[in-house]
Chains A and B, each alone.
Chain A
Amino acid sequence: MTATPLLSVRNLAKHYVHGHGFFGLGKRTVKAVQDVSFDIARGETLSLVGESGCGKSTVGKAIAGLHPATHGEILLNGKPITSPEYKAGQLWHRKVQVVFQDPYSSLDPRMRVRDIIAEPLKNFGLAKDRQDLNAQIARLIDLVRLPRDSADRYPHEFSGGQRQRIGIARALAPNPELIICDEAVSALDVSVKAQIVNLLADLRNELGLALLFISHDLAIVDHITDRVAVMYLGRIVEIGSRNEIFDNPKHPYTRALLSAVPMVDPAARRERIILKGELPSPFNPPSGCTFRTRCPLAQDLCAHDIPRLTPVGGNQQAACHLLPMAPATIA
């Protein structure tokens, strides 16, 4: 690929300092995200999956510009997030928008839907005058299939799914190039979840948006995504196209994750790989491969070196010491 990807994340790391030590004593650092790199092409959907606490939302917030990265670079159209060009007029926020997880806490309860959607339009100077502003708000409300008279209502008058539509309308308002959906449908009922995912898919196709879809729900991810990156304890352990990851997972963690997806058809039971133990504390991650403490295949080698993402065929990459040797013995 020679074309510049829309978004490039290079060696992103995010460390949080925990606790107020006495003059810096006793402070502990959580390495929430380490050495994460990936690209998203224009119009492409990449899903970031993993269990709670694996750092996927932290990656999303760093890309959204809500938390500065500790190390590494985030580039949009080849220019870093820290460049003066993006800082001026908060252009980064204009191009990279977020749909938040909780449709209840992500809308200011004291603002009308009109004002919520107008906020980015006004801040980024995208409305010529009052009439233009109203026209744009009406267009966005139509775009997310909300009732026409929604604009003058308050968020509490809407259901969870409708609120999420308001959140999507707000994210679409400044005409972004990338939308980060941070667990955007996790808080919704199953039926509403499907509607919102379909709406996101429709809008992506209509508007040519790129999506970073952060989720732990693999069924939803399978429905919407082009590529998948699997995270475990702050690192990407496997990345590849949807078909590669879902049909032919290489990393033992990805295999365990996929085997845990509930099946509708009881006859079609798969063999389940049940992981032992809990997610290790991010304060004190295991040496070498962070997954080795729960990996059914772990060997001595895994405790020494941190495995790097290596190509395992096609566009698929996995970070596991054992893969190049014996991919077939895992299953």
Chain B
Amino acid sequence: MRTSRFAENPAVATPLPDILEERIPRSGLLGMIQRNISVTIGLAGIAIIIFIGICAPWLGTVDPLSINPAMRTRPPSAEHFFGTDALGRDLWSRVLYGTRVSLTVGFSVAALATGIGVLLGVMAGYIRAAEGLIMRAMDAVMSIPSILLAIALVALIRPSVSNVIFAITVAEVPRVARLVRSVVISLRELAWVEAGIVSGSNSTKIILRHILPNAAAPIIVQATYICASAMIIEATLSFIGAGTPASIPSWGNIMAEGRSLWQVKPLIVLIPAAFLSATVLAVNVVGDGLRDALDSRLVKDI
């Protein structure tokens, strides 16, 4: 081959070393979490709440529904750690059992809304024909405040925990769908997706192997925020009497029933409120920590 007229190029590429230098072991998600103190605290908080929820029957509780008119609105004592409510029910038991409702609603909504939202978002982001229809439908749902939408849906169907989960999921799905669609659109244009197509991957493989793994970080972070927001919406719905049936002790229900005694017995409202705040805070702290730990351009955009 003739040499170039313009510049002298080295004749042969300089050989690279056979072995690259020793690499630092990849620490993975676990390592990132360990290095982030707020995530550790948040995860510990969630672990305690989950423990309370699961072990509620063995933590010195009695039947949260048993009424004792002789023991109404008692202050905290050795027998009733948090005192009793207006019907003489043990507040400690009711709050601990209420944990189950909040956790069930929070995690179910996070899982369902993320699952459905990812499906819709990927379809909207990847199939141009579906984009207009799906996103306008999502816009329509989002134009109604999520609390109002949930109230309307629960009013339409019989109040129960599963219906509350359904109502909040409907309200939260559009947020996930929007996020996923935007992430998918930005990833779809990247050269490695084109490289995947050239490498013979069909659309399903492109989505499963190239797009979703790279979109996972913002989706996970969004899921934690939805979990926290679902717990608050559930409590709000219960508080205004449009959520979990009054027979089920949920934090919102306890607060709603304690509302009339707020000025004389504030603890009946304050204790479940404190549990709710602590749980939501723990979930949000984990979400923030994950966002920092999974440090990527896309996650920062949320």
Assess whether B25 is interfacial by the CB under 8 Å rule.
Answer: no
Per-residue interface assignment for chain A, residues 143 to 166, with 1 indicating a CB less than 8 Å from any chain B CB and 0 otherwise: 001111110011001000010000
Name the distance in Å between B72's Cβ and chain A's nearest Cβ: 59
Per-residue interface assignment for chain B, residues 1 to 20, with 1 indicating a CB less than 8 Å from any chain A CB and 0 otherwise: 10011111111111111111
| Contacts of A225-268 to chain B: CB distance below 8 A | 246, 261-264
CA distance A157 to B201 in the complex (A): 25
Can you list the 8 inter-chain pairs with the closest CB atoms, starting with the nearest? A123-B200, A219-B6, A106-B191, A120-B199, A195-B13, A108-B192, A194-B9, A119-B199
Assess whether B274 is interfacial by the CB under 8 Å rule.
Answer: no
Nearest residue (CB) in B for A97 is B198
Give the interface size class of chain A.
35 or more
| Given A149-B19, A264-B6, A123:B199 Cβ within 8 A | yes
Nearest residue (CB) in B for A157 is B23
Assess whether A320 is interfacial by the CB under 8 Å rule.
Answer: no
Assess whether B205 is interfacial by the CB under 8 Å rule.
Answer: yes
| Contacts of A49-92 to chain B: CB distance below 8 A | 61, 64-66, 90
Could you show 18 A-B contacts with beta carbons less than 8 Å apart?
A: A66-B197, A96-B198, A97-B198, A108-B209, A109-B192, A119-B199, A145-B13, A145-B16, A146-B16, A148-B18, A153-B20, A191-B10, A195-B14, A196-B13, A219-B4, A219-B6, A219-B7, A261-B6
Assess whether A14 is interfacial by the CB under 8 Å rule.
Answer: no
Which residues on A sit within 8 Å (CB–CB) of B13? 145, 194-196, 198-199, 202
Q: Are A167 and B20 in contact (CB under 8 A)?
A: no
Q: Main secondary structure on chain B at its contact with chain A?
A: loop
Which residues on B sit within 8 Å (CB–CB) of A90? 200, 202
| Given A106-B195, A222-B4, A264-B7, A153:B23 Cβ within 8 A | yes
Q: Are A198 and B11 in contact (CB under 8 A)?
A: yes
Assess whether A291 is interfacial by the CB under 8 Å rule.
Answer: no
| Contacts of B169-227 to chain A: CB distance below 8 A | 190-192, 194-202, 205, 209-210, 213-214
CA distance A148 to B9 in the complex (A): 26
| Given A124-B200, A157-B23, A223:B9 Cβ within 8 A | yes
Which residues on A sit within 8 Å (CB–CB) of B9? 194, 197-198, 223
Name the distance in Å between B29's Cβ and chain A's nearest Cβ: 13
Which residues on B sit within 8 Å (CB–CB) of A150? 20
Which residues on A sit within 8 Å (CB–CB) of B198? 64-66, 93, 96-98, 120, 171
CA distance A191 to B9 in the complex (A): 8
Name the distance in Å between B189's Cβ and chain A's nearest Cβ: 9
Name the distance in Å between A63's Cβ and chain B's nearest Cβ: 11
Q: Are B191 and A198 in contact (CB under 8 A)?
A: no
